[in-house]
Structure 1
Amino acid sequence: MNVLLAAAFVVCWSSGFIGAKLGAGTADPITLLMWRFLPLAVVLVLCTMLFGLHRWRSLRLHTVRREIVIGALSQTGYLLTVYQAIGLGVSSGTTALIDGTQPLVVAVLAGPLLREYVGPRQWWGLALGVAGVVTVTAGDATSSGGVVWWAYLVPFAGMLSLVAATFLERRSPRDTDPTVSLTIHCVTSAVLFTAMAAAGGDVTPPADATFWLAVTWLVVLSTFGGYGLYWLVLRRNGITRVNTLMFLMAPVTAVWGAVAFSEPFGALTATGLLLCLGAVTVVFHAQSREEGGDAARPIEAGPRTTSGSGP
């Protein structure tokens, strides 16, 4: 089941880059993001009122504030930079490749911030993954023309925003139902993106079927699938594994973008794909051996009050 969850997470998370590319030519990124989250937030709030009020009764104000911050970082901040980069002409594959540096940042910070054990083999796997990301980035970036150089820096801000959200969640108690967290995150993003769109005069959606196809794609695959599975895999398997899976987003998106939008896919991209697959294999194998033997296990940080790997 964990393998199936991991595969579904990779596909759904990668779909966000493809959906952003699909809607990039139809409207301003802020407009697309507003209409991605506004109807979704309404539906989630209605579902909560009809079926899920019992999950909210014990919710405390400080928990709501924490989830608002996590939502603003993991959705609003992260997606704003991704969509802006693609809107500036950066390909979906390159955007995913730049975001692929996230696991290295998390791995470097996991020890001092979360006191999680990262073994030597896992470090080798992470280094192999970084080499794959760099290789694919080099091949993709050299094939792109007409894009200002600083546009490639925009996704880095989003990557750091997602890293911050990940650490904040891992340092918090597991006292919130995942559906409650998702609802708060989406409502937060809906409010923020609507405010941005209203300030810029970009509220009205275009009369374009492709725009609404992109919105539907992003809501179903990227939000419910991508973000829902992100937190589920994070809670079940730990921060090292979920961020190792992030290495696969770059090559998967590059292949997907090449098929769907004829984005460049050459020898360097293929080499990077093999390196990323090798990285995931090394890290997963190393952690499986540690969990199955007597090696040190990750030490959970923060006031965790529940046991087990489930939410």
Structure 2
Amino acid sequence: MRHTAVAAAGLVVMWSSGFVGARLGTAHAAADTLLAWRYLVVAVLLGLFLAVRRPRLTAFEVRRQVLLGLLCQALYLAGVVTGVGLGVPAGIAALIAVMQPLVVGALAGPVLGQVVRPRQWAGLATGLAAVAVVVAGDLEGGGHVLGYLLVGGGMLALSAGTLLERRWALPTAPFDQLTIHCLTSCAVFVAAAATTGRLVPPATPAFWWAVAWVVVLSTFGGYGCYLLTLRALGATGASTLLFLTPPTTMVWALLMFGDPIAWTTVAGLAGCAVAVWLVLARPGKVRWIRRSRHDSSTRHGEAGCPSHLSARV
């Protein structure tokens, strides 16, 4: 029980660290520079392990995992980190990103042929309305419209990758899947930074501190805590914990950067809490037990691609 609590707390903190790391890194370099060097470090470390393990992967499997990596990590992070670099507060970026499980839950019906209850649609609508209130409040204070569009686009890319991952149900081991996704993202971000002439990192210790932050805390710390939490609480439990990351990120940003927490943000958090209850609450104990059993037998569940923890910034 104690280990589960530690893993759950670690998941919330480590997941939130990604949004803070994006703010730290983009203060000293462009988003593609930060992402290129983050993934160069991660790709080298994971690539060495992959070379030692030598997993048996088919070309068909690798091609599909590359596409999932493009959606779940490369496009997602490009949108979120660039949006934060354009001025979207870290806490609000986390609030937009955490809508992904609600979007996936609502779209699972038409895409995967699953039954979606009216209250789940109501939960998605409530969550989106709550996010709209927060974004509108920040835009009135001079926020950057493009930044919010990029963060929202990144969240939709992750949602699309998650739905494809669940539809395809590939047999790839989680570690091999994470490695392919990171190698794909490394190639994308290095190529993007080289094309724009921003591959050379700035000669400032603060930049490398930000790189170390997102590699150690956000990538390996977040993914490790996710695996532990997934085994202990199931997919629904792990997904529910992710909704604690926006307020955690906001407090972190307040302490580190002095970002204020407006009343619209508090209202948005309350609305998101209602949305989570509408989507995840079960009307009866028997149905809850059945859902728990389903979670324990689901490899990734509502939380999305297994790499999305490392990807979520």
**TM bucket normalised to smaller:** 0.7 to 0.9
1:269 aligns with 2:265: yes
1:1-311, aligned counterparts within 5 Å? 7-50=9-52, 52-53=53-54, 56=55, 58-143=56-141, 145=142, 147-227=143-223, 237-238=234-235, 245-281=241-277, 283-286=279-282, 289=285, 291-292=287-288, 308-310=297-299
Unpaired segments ≥5 residues, structure 2: 301-313
Q: Report if aligned partners of 1:30, 1:197 keep a CA contact under 8 Å in 2.
A: yes
Residues 223-252 of structure 1: CA distance to partner in whole angstroms, max 9, x if unpaired? Answer: 2234566688789845x7666555444333
Q: Report if aligned partners of 1:122, 1:287 keep a CA contact under 8 Å in 2.
A: no
Per the TM alignment, residue 59 of structure 1 is displaced from its structure 2 partner at its CA by 1.3
Q: Distance in 2 between matches of 1:197 and 1:118?
A: 41
Per the TM alignment, residue 109 of structure 1 is displaced from its structure 2 partner at its CA by 1.0
Q: How many residues align?
A: 297
Q: Report if aligned partners of 1:258, 1:264 keep a CA contact under 8 Å in 2.
A: yes
> Quick one: structure 1 residues 308 and 5, their matched pair in 2 at CA, closer, same or farther if it must change by over 3 Å?
same
Per the TM alignment, residue 3 of structure 1 is displaced from its structure 2 partner at its CA by 6.7
Q: Distance in 2 between matches of 1:5 and 1:281?
A: 22
Per the TM alignment, residue 285 of structure 1 is displaced from its structure 2 partner at its CA by 3.8
Residues 13-70 of structure 1: CA distance to partner in whole angstroms, max 9, x if unpaired? Answer: 22211100011111111111000000110111112223x22xx1x3111111111111
Per the TM alignment, residue 121 of structure 1 is displaced from its structure 2 partner at its CA by 4.9
> Quick one: structure 1 residues 246 and 48, their matched pair in 2 at CA, closer, same or farther if it must change by over 3 Å?
same
> Quick one: structure 1 residues 173 and 234, their matched pair in 2 at CA, closer, same or farther if it must change by over 3 Å?
farther
> Quick one: structure 1 residues 119 and 290, their matched pair in 2 at CA, closer, same or farther if it must change by over 3 Å?
farther
TM-score in terms of structure 2 length: 0.81
Q: Which amino acid aligns with 1:93?
A: G
Q: Distance in 2 between matches of 1:187 and 1:26?
A: 24
Q: Distance in 2 between matches of 1:105 and 1:167?
A: 10
Of 154-163 and 217-226, the range deviating more from structure 2: 217-226
Of 5-14 and 223-232, the range deviating more from structure 2: 223-232
Q: Report if aligned partners of 1:103, 1:247 keep a CA contact under 8 Å in 2.
A: no
